[in-house]
Amino acid sequence: MNFTVVNDEVLYSSDTITRVTRADLELLKERARKNPRRRVRLCAHPSVEDTLHEMIIVHSKGNYVRPHKHPQKSESFHIIEGNLVVTIFDDAGTVTQSLAIGSGNSLLYYRLSEPAFHTVIPIDDVVVFHETTNGPFDRDETVFAPWAPEEDSKDGEAYLKDLTDRVECEVRV
């Protein structure tokens, strides 16, 4: 696998045909372990302008992804390794669904077809998943939940711990 490094967390495949082997997954997991935020994504699409975005994403237990939604976009996840919970919220911040997805669960795939606030909570030490969404990507089009703390904050850590405790109890992961 050949790739271009954008930053510690983002790689772009430079191959015309992107192939990901088990050895490549180990490389991605190692890059995530060495990364301050313990996550990495390999973008199989050639640029942010592409109309179809496919990514192999590695998240570590304890990663906080601020709840957000993407107006006019859909997204899907297919678990490759590990277990995570996708949590869906209403606009006021109430959890409406928690979906345990992964190798230890019967659910291996999900697709969110309408914009709704959501986050992912890695349950295992490392989770690897394939995400697909429509592009192009524009960070300014991501709507972050006003009731959720920002990433990389102490409030974010506390929010994630509380949410994880509630969700793990609900889904019995």
Question: 31-69 pLDDT, tens per residue?
Answer: 999 999 999 999 999 888 899 999 999 999 999 999 999
Does the pLDDT at position 116 exceed 90?
Answer: yes
Q: Region 86-113: what's the mean pLDDT?
A: 92
Q: What is the pLDDT of residue 145?
A: 95
Going by pLDDT thresholds of 50, 70 and 90, the confidence category of residue 173 is very low
**Of 16-30, 55-69, 153-167, the least confident:** 153-167
Q: Which residues of 85-117 are buried (b: 16+ CB within 10 A; e: fewer)?
A: bbbbbeeeeebebbbbbbeebeeeebebeeebb
Q: What percent of the chain has pLDDT over 70?
A: 97
Q: What is the dihedral of CA 8, 167, 72, 144, to 10 degrees?
A: -60
Query: Long-range CB contacts (< 8 A, 24+ apart) of 89-94?
Result: 89/116, 89/117, 89/118, 89/119, 89/145, 90/116, 90/117, 91/117, 92/147, 93/67, 93/117, 93/145, 93/147, 93/148
Q: Region 112-119: what's the mean pLDDT?
A: 94
Going by pLDDT thresholds of 50, 70 and 90, the confidence category of residue 91 is very high
* Domain extent listing, the chain: 3-171
Q: Region 165-171: what's the mean pLDDT?
A: 68
Going by pLDDT thresholds of 50, 70 and 90, the confidence category of residue 93 is very high
CATH of 3-171, one of 3.30.420.610, 1.10.1740.10, 2.60.120.10, 3.90.950.20: 2.60.120.10
Does the pLDDT at position 171 exceed 70?
Answer: no
Going by pLDDT thresholds of 50, 70 and 90, the confidence category of residue 118 is very high
